[in-house]
């Protein structure tokens, strides 16, 4: 298990890296050239700037069981297809049961914007969101360790 972070616009990079390194898990930050990340406990992969270039690089690196930190539901769907475990910045663990509705929500929002409509953006991030993210990430890490103990 590794933690792969879709870092373009990600507010929880530091939290994810701290949790991962504290648990002895490799953390890889994937971003395009518009962002710069230099964290001691993580490997940074910088890709060319372009539509979804970081997303495709992440999917190509993904191995079954990796945790994928992203707020992009399209990337989350690709991660699920490759047996990854998508986790949003707010702590939502994306799975086969909720991905369809999340993708539908994304599609409807895109149609509204394409028709000239406006949608309310996300509200200001609050500490409770960081706590929810960390709690979910720690559960995934612990669950993985418990599973590996069962194979010994």
Q: CA 64 to CA 118: how far, in whole Å?
A: 38
* pLDDT tens-place string over residues 51-94: 788 899 999 999 999 999 999 999 999 999 999 999 999 999 99
* pLDDT tens-place string over residues 92-112: 999 998 888 887 887 777 777
Query: Residues 59, 79: contact at Cβ < 8 Å?
Result: yes
Residue among 80, 85, 54, 82 at smallest CA distance from 67: 85
Domain boundaries, the chain: 2-150
The percentage of the chain sitting over the pLDDT mark of 70, rounded to a whole number, equals 93
CATH fold label, 2-150: Rossmann fold (3.40.50)
Query: Residues 7, 23: contact at Cβ < 8 Å?
Result: no
């Amino acid at each position: 298990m590794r933690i792969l972070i879709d870092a373009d616009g990600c507010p929880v990079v530091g939290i994810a890296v701290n949790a991962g390194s504290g648990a002895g898990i490799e953390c890889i930050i994937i971003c395009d050239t518009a962002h710069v990340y230099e964290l001691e406990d993580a490997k940074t992969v910088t890709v060319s700037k372009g539509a979804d270039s970081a997303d495709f690089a992440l999917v190509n690196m993904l191995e079954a069981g990796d945790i994928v930190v992203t707020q992009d539901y399209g990337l989350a769907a690709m991660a699920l297809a490759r047996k990854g475990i998508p986790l949003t910045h707010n702590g939502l663990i994306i799975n086969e049961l909720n991905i369809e509705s999340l993708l539908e929500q994304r599609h409807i929002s895109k149609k509204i914007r394409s028709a000239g409509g406006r949608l309310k953006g996300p509200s200001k991030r609050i500490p409770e969101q960081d706590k929810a993210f960390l709690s979910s990430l720690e559960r995934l890490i612990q669950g993985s360790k418990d599973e590996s103990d069962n194979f010994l």
